């Protein structure tokens, strides 16, 4: 129950008191029950469900703000999803579709979208379409087997959080530097990534303050990380780093470093203890 309340509170901006009082009329995990009073439904979690009537049912939820359709193995996304004018959060992870319907661009209120584990998805077409969503701030495309990140990624200019973890991405396109609002980036588990090239591009992303590079089998960090002038939090856990050399004169804003799961000798980072930097190892 606590987890359910926290999810709804986060997504819908409802107070815990309000959620507690209205939980039964706002959040549903069964389509049949939700259709009894569709106008009262704010959140609908249909993950792992059988959805034969989804196309006709969706337009009835005129006030819906949260929708989870993950792990449905949907080969097509219902075009009627575009009628959910108040939708803020959408999870389509773990499905089998190739592309999103063109009407997807009508989701003008959408703020967060999850497209994880979409192995058949046309990444280029998807990103081009997402560029028409004016309020999209959070995008997750984890474990999508992305090798080449399309240059169209630069069109997602309002993104604040981007999760590209678990992909065999080799390089970041130059257009990535156009993500002027990006603050947090996940590149964990991207073991093919040319990190030196990536840092050169990321150095042009002015608001980037949190970077995740966990599980990348890194033995060292390229010295041009110093180009990330606004970096505050750096996650390097579960790599193969024995010695870490960071010049904090270049990374003046760095205040947190996570080195858990690396074969490091504690004495090799004693110099960091004297700087006041918070870290885990």
Convert the pLDDT of each residue in 37-63 to its tens digit.
Answer: 999 999 999 998 767 789 999 999 999
Token couple for 24: 């039964």
- Mean pLDDT over residues 209-213, rounded? 99
Instruction: Write down the pLDDT at residue 151.
Output: 97
The Cα 127–Cα 281 span in angstroms is: 37
Average pLDDT, rounded, for the chain:
90
Is 186 a residue whose pLDDT tops 90?
yes
Instruction: Write down the pLDDT at residue 244.
Output: 85
Instruction: Write down the pLDDT at residue 76.
Output: 93
Strand partners, 182: none
Q: Considering the domain boundaries, does residue 235 fall inside one? A: yes
In total, the chain counts a number of residues equal to 281
Convert the pLDDT of each residue in 124-182 to its tens digit.
Answer: 999 999 999 999 999 999 999 999 999 999 999 999 999 999 999 999 999 999 999 99
Token couple for 215: 């599980």
Q: Which helix (H) or strand (E) holds 43?
A: strand 43-45
Is 105 a residue whose pLDDT tops 80?
yes
Is 21 a residue whose pLDDT tops 90?
no
Q: Considering the domain boundaries, does residue 220 fall inside one? A: yes
* Minimum mean pLDDT range among 14-28, 76-90, 114-128: 14-28
Instruction: Write down the pLDDT at residue 70.
Output: 96
Q: Considering the domain boundaries, does residue 11 fall inside one? A: no
Q: Considering the domain boundaries, does residue 30 fall inside one? A: no
The residue assigned the tokens 């999760």 is 163
Q: Considering the domain boundaries, does residue 206 fall inside one? A: yes
The Cα 271–Cα 7 span in angstroms is: 41
Is the CB of residue 121 less than 8 Å from the CB of residue 97?
Answer: yes
Is 80 a residue whose pLDDT tops 90?
yes
Instruction: Write down the pLDDT at residue 14.
Output: 43
Instruction: Write down the pLDDT at residue 245.
Output: 82
Is the CB of residue 65 less than 8 Å from the CB of residue 44?
Answer: no
Q: Considering the domain boundaries, does residue 162 fall inside one? A: yes
The Cα 123–Cα 146 span in angstroms is: 8
pLDDT band with cut points at 50, 70 and 90 for residue 1? very low
Q: Considering the domain boundaries, does residue 96 fall inside one? A: no
Instruction: Write down the pLDDT at residue 5.
Output: 43
Is the CB of residue 43 less than 8 Å from the CB of residue 8?
Answer: yes
Is the CB of residue 136 less than 8 Å from the CB of residue 130?
Answer: yes
DSSP secondary structure code for residue 64 in this structure: -
- Say how many domains are in the chain: 1
Q: Considering the domain boundaries, does residue 226 fall inside one? A: yes
Convert the pLDDT of each residue in 222-258 to its tens digit.
Answer: 999 999 999 999 999 999 999 888 887 889 999 999 9
Instruction: Write down the pLDDT at residue 257.
Output: 94
Domain that includes residue 153, residue range: 146-281
Q: What is the CATH number of the domain that holds 209?
A: 3.80.10.10
pLDDT band with cut points at 50, 70 and 90 for residue 4? very low
């Amino acid at each position: 129950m606590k987890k359910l309340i926290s999810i709804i509170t986060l997504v819908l901006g409802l107070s815990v008191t309000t959620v507690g009082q209205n939980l039964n009329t706002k959040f549903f995990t069964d389509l049949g029950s939700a259709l009894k009073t569709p106008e009262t439904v704010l959140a609908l979690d249909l993950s792992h469900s059988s959805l034969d009537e989804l196309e006709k049912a969706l337009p009835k939820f005129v006030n819906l703000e949260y929708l989870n359709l993950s792990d449905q193995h949907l080969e097509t996304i219902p075009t009627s999803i575009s009628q959910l004018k108040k939708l803020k959060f959408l999870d389509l992870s773990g499905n089998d579709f190739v592309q999103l319907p063109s009407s997807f661009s009508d989701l003008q209120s959408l703020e967060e979208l999850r497209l994880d584990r979409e192995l058949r998805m046309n990444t280029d077409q998807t990103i081009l379409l997402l560029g028409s969503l004016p309020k999209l701030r959070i995008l997750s495309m984890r474990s999508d087997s992305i090798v080449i990140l399309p240059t169209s990624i630069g069109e997602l200019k309002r993104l604040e959080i981007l999760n590209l973890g678990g992909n065999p991405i080799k390089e970041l396109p130059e257009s990535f530097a156009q993500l002027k609002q990006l603050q947090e980036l996940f590149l964990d588990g991207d073991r093919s990534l040319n990190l030196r090239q990536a840092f050169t591009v990321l150095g042009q992303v002015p608001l980037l303050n949190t970077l995740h590079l966990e599980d990348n089998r890194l033995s060292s960090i390229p010295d041009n990380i110093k180009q990330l002038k606004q970096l505050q939090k750096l996650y390097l856990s579960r790599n193969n780093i024995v010695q870490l050399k960071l010049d904090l004169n270049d990374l003046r804003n760095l205040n947190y470093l996570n080195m858990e799961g690396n074969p490091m000798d504690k004495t090799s980072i004693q110099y960091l203890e004297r700087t006041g930097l918070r870290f885990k190892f």
